[in-house]
Homo-oligomer: A and B are copies of this chain.
Amino acid sequence: MKPLPLRPSTNYLLDCLPCQDRASFLTHCEAVNLVFGEVISEPDGQIQHVYFPLNSFVSLIAQLSGRERLEVTMVGSEGMLGMPLILGLDESPLRALVQGAGPALRMPAADFGQHLAQSPALQALLKRYLYVLMHQLSQVAACTHFHHVEARLARWLLMTQDRAHSDHLHLTHAFLATMLGVRRAGITLAAMALQARGLIRYHRGDITVLDRTRLIEAACGCYAADCRLYRRVITEGGAV
């Protein structure tokens, strides 16, 4: 968790802020390095910081009483971690697991509350982001129920690729299986099918996206819907 040299923010949400608010916000941020496998928040744990991933990304995982786990969304440089603070609560229902190591900006929860109170632009922006999250959550419920492993895997790879800003991912079948809530063997089959169609290549945990366009076709419509929603609500609607 060593501090990194401060560098221009490449978090998309922060980039959307007016210069004033953004500058003031950034001076109170600390640059940290998220390491793979780190758990940033536990269900019912207290939120200590908000995080704005830069090149890193984090899975948000729902956990049922029976210990079943399912990834419900992903946060990278397009988002923020610690949304319940917007709602005035300092607990998170979801486990946040660092899935792509890399730099992030973070701010203590208390400071964040102050900035939020002082910057209407920040408030408006993060409310919009919260709307996107809610939309995604309800969509994920239906997607997970109706769509098959292969399409869901394709979608998941695309989302990961977007957040990793790279064609090259490091993910074992076993890890993918727990994220999608299916068996490892199920991932093997789906991954082989995608590889046979020339959409991806993988070897001992190294996955390369070969043909992004056709991978989008192989994924369920939920990926495209997600992208459209974000663009409409944040990128275009986010005139703050």
Nearest-Cβ distance from residue A129 to partner chain B, whole angstroms: 9
Nearest-Cβ distance from residue A97 to partner chain B, whole angstroms: 14
Nearest-Cβ distance from residue A112 to partner chain B, whole angstroms: 15
Q: Is A80 an interface residue (CB 8 A)?
A: no
A128 touches B221 (CB 8 A): no
The secondary structure that dominates the A interface is: helix
Interface residues on A, range: 35 or more
- Which residues of chain B have C-beta atoms less than 8 A from A131's C-beta? 84, 87, 89
- Which residues of chain B have C-beta atoms less than 8 A from A83's C-beta? 134
Cα–Cα, bound, A133→B169 (Å): 33
Among residues of B, the one whose C-beta sits closest to the C-beta of A65 is B221
Given A65-B221, A128-B87, A146-B70, A134 and B135 contact (CB-CB distance below 8 Å): no
Q: Is A227 an interface residue (CB 8 A)?
A: no
B145 touches A181 (CB 8 A): yes
Nearest-Cβ distance from residue A186 to partner chain B, whole angstroms: 13
* Contacts from A to B (Cβ < 8 Å): 60, 62-66, 68-70, 72, 83-84, 86-89, 93-94, 124, 127-128, 130-131, 133-135, 137-146, 181, 220-222, 224-225, 229, 233, 237
7 cross-chain CB contacts under 8 A:
A62-B139, A65-B225, A83-B134, A89-B127, A93-B138, A140-B141, A144-B145
